[in-house]
A and B are shown apart, each in its own frame.
Chain A
Amino acid sequence: MSMVDEPLYPIAVLIDELKNDDIQLRLNSIRRLSIIARALGEERTRKELIPFLSESNDDDDEVLLAMAEELGVFIPYVGGIDHANVLLPPLETLSAVEETCVREKAVDSLCRIGSQMKEKDLVDHFIPLAKRLSAGEWFTARVSACGIFHIAYASAPDLVKTELRSIYSQLCQDDMPMVRRAAATNLGKFATTIESAHLKTDIMSMFEDLTQDDQDSVRLLAVESCAALGKLLEPQDCVAHILPVIVNFSQELSSDSSQHVRSALASVIMGMAPVLGKDATIEHLLPIFLSLLKDEFPDVRLNIISKLDQVNQVHSIRDAAANNLKRLAEEFGPEWAMQHIVPQVLEMINNPHYLYRMTVLRAVSLLAPVMGSEITCSKLLPAVITASKDRQVVEKMIRPCLVELSEDPDVDVRFFANQALQSIDNVMMSS
């Protein structure tokens, strides 16, 4: 045991505490890894510290998470880009642990480092890493592999590119649903690195495999990637390849497919509208939208299955559809909306099922600001007032809707909205 100089005591303690029994102390040391690295110097960091970290791979998750995070910004401490590849082994280990948050952070860091690496190093080190992970014995490694392909692909020589596409395609058909889910989630990202010639063939066939998977959660995630894929294809290819999948999908929607698939579909289709342009949107997307408005089931249940954080605003398919109608109206203008959306929406106000009528009111409240006061007063509000006779609908939808409209900037809208509110109260009082 060597005694260090007293002034260096704190650093020495910091280093020793990397292996302290107290997790808080270990965490503290890991979070200050950069200081330890500078105290050791670049060469010793590369030769001693990094291997040391590689071996600490069975520590508590919190510690591993902190480690994965630190390593992602460690390039300066190992001597710059030229030495970035020494950071890969510990991250490779961390990207295969079973705690998801650690894995995801490790993949994040791998991508961060990979995107800075020189081409030669990518070919020599990063790509073999990606191949090893995708051939991992445990599903955990294969899940992580899906997240780094988009980095590995770009700088690969052509032969290797073919190999990588083939490996990804196998990941899309992996035995484990977790791996297939990861493949589906990352398909969009991967596709952005692929040449257009291969997009239409390899990627689209992976996409189709995934949209026909028998696991709900996999199909859902594949549909998510529609919008991303749509942006990469020419509009006519979009119409030719992606739309049929969506249309088929939406035809299944009537009874067989899960409702959160449909909900995601609603949002995704919106992403496609700008790409397709007005005509194709009217011809293909609108019918789907309107059928989603009539969707039977009020709840999108299980975001947990697919962990759809990005869709957390959406609570129902009809809500999604209503929101998307509003966005369409914004995109293409009130005149267009008046011609193509409003009539169909208003038609539904007379639907015997009260949930349909509720949806209409929701859509109306969203469209009103977009359509402008004239249309709102002349077309939308009367429908609202008619529906106000419906007890069930009144409290849940109409009143909030009208309260919103009673605060509209336009004086006429406010007037009519308040009128409506009063008449509701009268009806309520007298019955």
Chain B
Amino acid sequence: MGSAHSVPAEMRALADRTGFTSEQIEHLHRRFRQLSRDQLTIRKENFDSIPDLEFNPIRAKIVHAFFDKRNLRQESSGLADEINFEDFLTIMSYFRPIEMNMDEEQLDRFRKEKLKFLFHMYDSDHDGKITLQEYRNVVEELLSGNPHLEKESARSIADGAMMEAASICVGQMGPDQVYEGITFEDFLKMWQGIDIETKMHVRFLNMETIAHCY
């Protein structure tokens, strides 16, 4: 079962950093090799080879998220051109389910990381705020899979959501105050009541790479 690229010591380091078990890492590595066609890095074009992803309305954002340098924990911002296996694992680690043995602090950190990932997905121009236009983009993309919906509806929905966010985050605003955008702190406030840990996770247990992915 050993793949030629994996080295035990490296794997252990990866496991420590990302929190996956070695079996999961092996599975993911196999998948990575499949996607990259045995290269060491993946580019955006490689994601086109996943047929099911075509039907996903937010396909562009998902692919984008993989290459977003902020998600890859690199100091710079912008988009990377290609990612290697370690980056791949880093992105995947955002979707790990919570473990029962986490303490409060770990849980909190975990939660913040997941929310930060989500935030980056909304904030496409990397300025640290989700403006109305960005929000509109997100909603339009979200509803783009539905051919019968007009763009108008998507926009109004985004507007409504923005106003709601403003009322939650800022509360009472003065007559000439302007709500510019949702910052990360506001974003956290909005998510206070909802358990992101239980909703944002993927089961990495049973993974059978399906042959028809090509």
Are A and B genuine complex partners?
no
Q: Which of A's residues lie within 8 Å of B, judged by CB?
A: none
